[in-house]
Amino acid sequence: MSWLVTALALLAAGALVPVGVGFCVLAVERGRPIRLTRAGISVFAREWAAHAVAGPMLPLGVVQLAPAPFGPRDDPPDAPTPVVLVPGYAMNRACMFVLASYLRRRGWRWVWPVNHRPHSGGLHRFAQQLGASVDRVRMVSGAEQVDLVCHSMGGVVAGLYLREYGGAVKVRRLVTLGTPWKGSRMGVFGLRQEAVEMLPTGDVVQRLDGLPVPAVAIASDTDHMVIPPDSATPPWIRVVRLDHVGHLEMLSNARVLRLVRDLLADERFALPEAS
């Protein structure tokens, strides 16, 4: 039993470091002192828990599963559009488990979380791979288009796919969670090629100035991975702001899950007006 306690303690300590550093960097970026408010402590604790859980889950998502329907054998006439879930930096399909399960239980038969391969493949490689995944879902489901729900860096990968790799005619709409559209300075802590490309000086994020499909960005005022914070809210995308939701927490937060469901089902979903 002592080894289990030790393992859990190390896991909690390991998760505390990136969250603590991230929130300190966010406070410096905003130029505001850290206040120990109830809301602040709560979001910190939830984000810490999300990081602690994500680590042990990663081995469960290493192997990419094939897309498969959930529920009845045949799609009903009003079946929702298939959804492809795209994880963020250093994450895989296991981190999308809660969101995938939530959508499946609410009527989405085709929900496929995908992985980025290979590690350190770079954003362009990931975008091409996403294109292959979209084509695969379209083929097995018979759907003409899919919806994309992307977390963090996954949103930039999707944007690159839509703009440069023919995704605009194959994707109906895009929903992103905590995506640093204009890059994030937190990329300096990353060791992979895509981390460097996600810096604000990266060529991909500097050229990303619009999307060819209807899109919504869900952003939080306490997202410690998006530095500067306004990188999550560029003027060319419709933005939904949430208070006190952490970066990884977005993948399991009840408010975010309901919002994603509503956005995917909203027939009024439309391109934002230019600002």
pTM to 2 decimal places: 0.92
Residues ≥6 apart with Cβ < 8 Å to 195: 89, 187, 189
| pLDDT for the residue numbered 44 | 92
If DSSP codes are grouped into helix, strand and coil, which group holds residue 149? strand
| pLDDT for the residue numbered 273 | 43
Residues ≥6 apart with Cβ < 8 Å to 8: none
Residue segments in the chain with a per-residue pLDDT below the cut of 70:
1, 3-5, 7-9, 11-13, 72-77, 270-275
| pLDDT for the residue numbered 9 | 67
Q: What domains appear along the chain, each with residue ranges and CATH number?
A: 61-265 (3.40.50.1820)
Torsion angle defined by CA atoms of residues 53, 71, 177 and 65, in that order, rounded to the nearest 10 degrees: 60
pLDDT tens digits, 189-228: 988 899 999 999 999 999 999 999 999 999 999 999 999 9
| pLDDT for the residue numbered 36 | 79
